[in-house]
Amino acid sequence: MIKYSLKCNKDHVFEAWFSVSSSFEKQNKKKLISCPSCGSLRIEKSIMAPNISPKGQSSKESIQKKDNVEVLLNKARKNIEANFDYVGDKFADEARSMHYGEKDEREIYGETTIEDAVELIEEGINVHPVPGINPKLKN
């Protein structure tokens, strides 16, 4: 995994993880990366110092940091599952209906295709992938 410091065209800085370095370029070209602060799709890499373990830091400490990230992601997932409505593969339709005032707004989660997610973002609908929501999914 590679962690990049990213910046949107409005100078919001945030971090994102990618499986390989080419993933950033591919996802950015397809407008799949959005700023968590403003939703902008104009993203570039920001200057970032490499993450080099200090002398004496063991791989055990590195594993512990990864475990902490996993704990945080699991907490986020559990919070979403407890407080949001699951809409399954109807996510794109539900999000559009709420965005265009056809249904009352509420917090939802579900599945959609990458193509539909890009279309939602282009329509100004704020969506974010949430890792680990459905363990059967591979993305």
**Residues 77-90: pLDDT tens digits?**
888 889 999 999 99
Same domain for 26 and 77, yes or no, is no
**Residues 13-43: pLDDT tens digits?**
888 888 777 888 889 899 989 888 888 999 9
pTM reported for the whole predicted model: 0.50
Longest Cα–Cα distance of the chain, Å, equals 58
Is residue 53 domain-resident?
A: no
Same domain for 39 and 63, yes or no, is no
Q: How confident is the model at residue 48 (pLDDT cuts 50, 70, 90)?
A: low
Both tokens of 100, joined, read 């265009």
Same domain for 41 and 65, yes or no, is no
pLDDT of residue 63: 66
Query: Average pLDDT, stretch 47-76?
Result: 68
Same domain for 35 and 67, yes or no, is no
Same domain for 94 and 123, yes or no, is yes
Looking at residue 137, what DSSP letter applies?
-
Domain with 105, as residue range(s), is: 58-139
Query: Average pLDDT, stretch 54-59?
Result: 59
